[in-house]
Amino acid sequence: MITVIGFNTAIDRLIRLDALRPGEVSRALDEQAYPGGKGLHVAQTIAALGERVQLVGLVDPAHRNMIGRLLCERGVVFHGIEVAESLRTCIALQDADGQVTEILGQGPLLDGAQQEALLRAFRRGVDDSELIVLSGSLPRGFPSTTYAELAAHVRDAGKRCLIDAGGELLQHAAQTRPFLVKPNRDEIADLLGRPIGDLAAAVDAVRELRADGIAMPVVTMGALGAVAADASGVWHALIELEQVRNTVGSGDCLLAGMTVGMARNMNLEGILRLGVACGSANAQGQETGFVERRAVETLLAKVRVQRLA
């Protein structure tokens, strides 16, 4: 069993426009809504690859049935903590050129009892699993040290903790030396205090994180691929896609693929290959943060992975 902590559940809305013109009226060409949030994206992608997974997150009365039904159909065991306040809404506006503008809602403000209910579910998940993923933002009310505290709990339990977060959440959590962190180029620049604009800078970044005690740091660089390191060295994975439809959630799917690779005891080359194939499958699909297993298997052979000197 893999446990994913995605406390800040969302409703994702993807709206396609002919053009986005600030200050003017824009009419939607198409609109879809799905249960979302980074943790939910990770969990449903893990399930799509055939691994047992459970997700801890929020749910509200208006979306309880929709989220529960979808995750059940997709093979995710969902431990939803219900709150009366509405879940946050994340809006992705995509123009005809494929450029995406994201608007991320805040979500509910949790009281102490609601926070403790989520934390109890987290602790049960740690007992059940060898791999624990902490993914995305936190509902309002949690302190910025929360992921650091959860990562320390996972470490003390002798389990591996994987973290995908940014800002103060990542800054505090990195100090606990979790097994894996997966910042994108903006998040790693914020963490290290310098721009990470090319592949060489990403390589330096993962080496620095390794030296600081993180066993498997990963930096995603968009079209430049992903760089990761472990005791075997530094590896780079890249794929060239002929068609890209929706890149929102690709980083979440990449992390899901890497988590599955770790659960299957692959080496870093295989872990990174599966991760990039999952992220790319999401980019070629329409739904945010979800892949079909067959699409991933088709892309695996197209991912180029090399060990860097």
Residue 26: what pLDDT?
A: 86
Residue 99: what pLDDT?
A: 84
Between the alpha carbon of residue 264 and those of residues 3, 13, 27, 75, 282, the distances in Å are: 15, 33, 46, 18, 21
Each residue's pLDDT tens digit, 158-170: 999 999 999 999 9
Q: Whole-angstrom Cα distance, residue 289 to residue 153?
A: 28
Q: How many CB atoms lie within 10 A of CB 212?
A: 11
Residue 215: what pLDDT?
A: 98
Each residue's pLDDT tens digit, 25-70: 988 988 988 999 999 999 999 999 999 999 999 999 999 999 999 9
Between the alpha carbon of residue 95 and those of residues 25, 29, 101, the distances in Å are: 14, 10, 9
> For domain 2-308, which architecture applies?
3-Layer(aba) Sandwich (3.40)
Residue 206: what pLDDT?
A: 98
Residue 202: what pLDDT?
A: 97
Longest Cα–Cα distance of the chain, Å, equals 55
Residues in the chain with pLDDT values less than 70: none
Residue 100: what pLDDT?
A: 86
* Residue pair 273/238 in contact by the 8 Å Cβ criterion: no
Residue 227: what pLDDT?
A: 98
Residue 128: what pLDDT?
A: 92
